[in-house]
Structure 1
């Protein structure tokens, strides 16, 4: 007997290919396609931000009414297209007052003051759109605080239309919880009785993620290690006890990688394609990066890359402490990213004074591909990292990751064992500048003194496989778990 084909409503505040600030967008752009390949009916909903050209989209004729409690009913437009290289529909909620801005969540002055209203509006609009499309989902899949409150809305304000649907909430980064003035309860329209310490109340403020965690039928995080870490004071950001109380419905599912996009044998963005059988093209990719950043064209020098936000979470403080010491090791380092002003200014000054350091402030997808392909090693000293994707990209490109053992970094990187000559990268455990420095020093020494071990490690790394197809099967197991109500045992994930 074949299993039932599921209908899934997938809501995310950002989706790769349209608007992106981090890993959430990568998941939202890839996971629905993999779920679709399993034979399920899935639609994706996101805001239409100012940066998304509506002329490239198809507009739905009917406007969408969105109830906003004491604010009354607001009317939105809806546009649609498909995820790239797929038949997965994407719907865009168009409301200029909330989404016609330069940033997704913030601008140079900081976070938008009305973010609560913006994403409560989006959450309600998503459910309203499902009704308008007559798409009756089996599963409503919410992501992070932006859509977390949908898990309770389905049981209260929208119960008549979603009485038979179940909810799954994925936590991509617990550091962001959606904490606002308690008056947002009037906009939520779920009832003030839910403003209590077990649901939405947090130090007399409303915590949207906390309430979503309480009411979700299942919780997922983006790696098994992160699922454990968020139940501890170090990584729980004040919600560790709350999450432990709901750990019976918590699953850690590692993110996958779209190998049609991140694959050195197929990558049109890099200087020369290569693969395990013939890695000669990697040398040309290295020269390409050196030329791009104005570095000396040397094959013998270790080239280390960093791609990410210049924020404390990514270990940027650790890097800033040791960067000059690392550059004194006769290595080349290139960095791509932007973030906190002090960090941008600091690394800009390093780039001015050091000829073996290259900096690109901002983000470039093409340059990201070039760095993954052209570097010998990739640096990710994150203080915490729910999953991380750049280290997995690095593996496929034979660019050995140097990581702190946390979250998905710990799950995906096996530390090099000099005695048994195995492993796919280099790990350190203490969140200290000293640990970072000596781990990079170790990696550089292996690169220089044991070329065969380094090359063997590159080949092992390139054989690693973290597919979205595998991740999608695990999400499917969670979906069926909540629908079949067999909560005595978790599915074997």
Structure 2
């Protein structure tokens, strides 16, 4: 079964968040399950640099008149055949894939990512004469127009199953309606039953409305986005399409996230032999100027620093965490006010709090390997990979019970300790007091070393690989083709 995956980023070549991790791991998992997967990506510089043996498949004129080369080659790092949009004027710019150096969205993002969906539809309709996908699987708002272009394209495009995955409903690709005329879609596409969204234009809505089937990244999140509270204004559409909506839990690429083989960490360890984790902890404490203290409960945050991630709750609870002898290490970037506040707390408590602004993949691995607890107190969380990385590395997740966090973390309540299912700490209400109570439970369990080791072993032994998720995707693809 030929599958075309369409995404804006892909790990390890280009990553701004969890989308890249999924886009990087899913092709190999699907190939192992019997598919032949190719990927379509924008020609960002790291992707172009990794593209080997490339040839020009075709040259196209976008609906708004720009010329673009569609290259075909092999992504050497991933070993996956790729189609890449070679358009340096669109993709080779300072800043991030989505924002300029002043953290403002690129003025022509609607064109840059409409092109991704437009070429995906062309490939679905036979652009490559020697390879035809049976399924086009597009990810998040950047690739969402794939569904619209297929809906209004040549009739043969309707023979290709079209799956659209929502990674985070809060990021919708909203643009002014005047930009609709650049897209090359017919006027009827800009309507309530289409891209129109409160007078604006929503790429995300196009994916949700026109796709054959919608998936999202955890079963609980699939339910939550049908509610007013978490539907981001699209809950009515999602309820109307509930029979075409499936939550498939994300997974961990265990070739990348495995403490027994991870070359980025100080010492290897596994669920049975954890002495290496103590060495990782001491090394990180020393490197960051924290007090080198084996029995200090070390908490870690690896996250975008935003209100959505619940990090204002962490700041409010930090005094109690420190007073109980705990330590905190933070890695992330985001809202300026949160960055400044975390840096101020680190300056005030240099032996207990360490903060690094930015993102460093190797340092993230070191944090998971060294910490005892991974904090993920998100207001909402579609799936979350951070808590899964914590589980793999024996850093027990402390999470708010939402989305994929609810699907992967079991609280250390007495009944769960008794039946062996406990693997972390869960709080229900999104309040500082609820977070503090969970932090206290973490300290209480840490004071009972034998029980802590048992829970940590349970966490590290969980099956979090891609086999199950890949099988669910393949079953969905086959159902849609049939």
Q: With structure 2 as the length reference, what TM-score do the two structures score? A: 0.94
> Which of these residues, 350, 354, 363, is aligned with residue 349 of structure 2?
354
Q: Please give the per-residue CA displacement for 1:307-333, whole angstroms capped at 9, x wherever unaligned.
A: 010011111221222223322221110
Aligned to 1:269: 264
User: Given that residues 410 and 416 in structure 2 are in contact (C-alpha distance below 8 angstroms), is that contact kept between their aligned partners in structure 1?
Assistant: no
Q: Measure, in 2, the Cα distance between the counterparts of 1:278 and 1:472.
A: 30
Query: Could you give the per-residue CA deviations for residues 186-228 of structure 1, whole angstroms, max 9, x where no partner exists?
Result: 2222211122212211111111111221111100000000000
Asked whether 1:311 is paired with 2:306, we answer: yes
Deviation for aligned residue 1:64 = 2.4
2:198 is aligned with 1:199: no
Quote the Cα distance in structure 2 between the aligned partners of 1:249 and 1:371: 39
SS of the aligned residue for 1:65 comes to strand
Deviations 1:105-124 (A, max 9, x none): 11324212211111001221
Superimposed CA distance per residue, residues 444-489 of structure 1 (whole angstroms, 9 cap, x where no aligned partner) = 12102x11111110011111112111101100111112111xxxxx
Structure 1 partner of 2:182: 187
Q: Is the 8 A contact 2:302 2:331 kept in 1?
A: yes
Report how far residue 73 of structure 1 moved.
4.7
> CA shift at 1:413, angstroms?
0.4
User: Using the alignment, how far apart are the partners of 1:263 and 1:445 within structure 2?
Assistant: 28
Give the stretch that moved more between structures: 167-176 or 146-155.
146-155
CA distance in 1, matches of 2:121, 2:274: 49
Contact 1:65–1:128 (Cα < 8 Å) also in 2: no
Match of 2:111 in 1: 117
What is the alpha-carbon distance in structure 2 between the residues aligned to residue 166 and residue 382 of structure 1?
34
CA distance in 2, matches of 1:372, 1:185: 44
Cα gap change, 1:75 to 1:316, in 2 (>3 Å): same
Q: Tell me the distance in 2 between the aligned counterparts of 1:444 and 1:304.
A: 11
TM-score, normalisation: structure 1: 0.92
Offset from partner CA, 1:10-55 (integer Å, 9 cap, x none): 1001111111111111111001111111121110111121344537
2:56 alignment partner, SS class: coil
Alignment match of 1:67 (pick from 52, 62, 65): 62
Is the alpha carbon distance of 1:286 and 1:37 closer, same or farther for their aligned partners in structure 2, counting shifts above 3 Å? Answer: same
Distance 1:56 1:83, change over 3 A: closer
- Report what 2:429 is aligned to: 430
Cα distance in 2, alignment partners of residues 358 and 343 from structure 1: 14
Tell me: CA distance 1:364–1:218, structure 2 relative to 1, closer, same or farther (3 Å).
same
Q: Counterparts of 1:420 and 1:429 in 2: how far apart (Å)?
A: 16
Q: 1:278 offset after TM fit, Å?
A: 1.3
Give the direction of change, closer, same or farther, for the CA distance of 1:54–1:374 in structure 2 (3 Å limit).
same
5 Å matches for 1:326-365? 326-355=321-350, 356-365=352-361
SS at match of 2:159: coil
Between the aligned partners of 1:217 and 1:127, the Cα distance in structure 2 is 14
Equivalent residue pairs, number: 474
Corresponding residue to 1:82 among 75, 79, 83: 75
RMSD of aligned alpha carbons: 1.7
- Post-superposition shift, 1:78? 2.3
Quote the residue 2:84 is aligned against.
Answer: 92
Q: 1:489 matched to which residue of 2?
A: none
Of 41, 54, 78, which aligns to 2:36?
41
Q: Secondary structure at the match of 1:206?
A: strand
Secondary structure of the corresponding residue to residue 378 of structure 2 = coil
Shift, 1:420, TM fit: 5.2
The 1:85–1:166 alpha-carbon spacing in structure 2 relative to 1, beyond 3 Å, is: closer
* Offset at residue 65 of structure 1 (A): 0.5
Q: Which moved more, 1:249-258 or 1:411-420?
A: 411-420
In 2: Cα distance, 1:221 partner to 1:254 partner: 8
Counterpart of 2:388 in structure 1 is 392
Contact persistence 2:271–2:457 (CA under 8 A): yes
Determine whether 1:278 maps to 2:276: no
Q: Aligned pair in 2 of structure 1 residues 330, 214: CA closer, same or farther (>3 Å)?
A: same
Judge which range, 106-115 or 299-308, deviates more.
106-115
1:226 aligns with 2:221: yes
Taking a change above 3 Å as real, the CA distance of residues 55 and 211 of structure 1, as seen in their structure-2 partners, is closer
Structure 1 stretches of 4+ moved >4 Å:
none
Task: Quote the residue 1:256 is aligned against.
Answer: 251
Which residue number corresponds to residue 375 of structure 2?
379
Q: Quickly say closer, same or farther: Cα 1:221–1:28, change in 2 above 3 A.
A: same
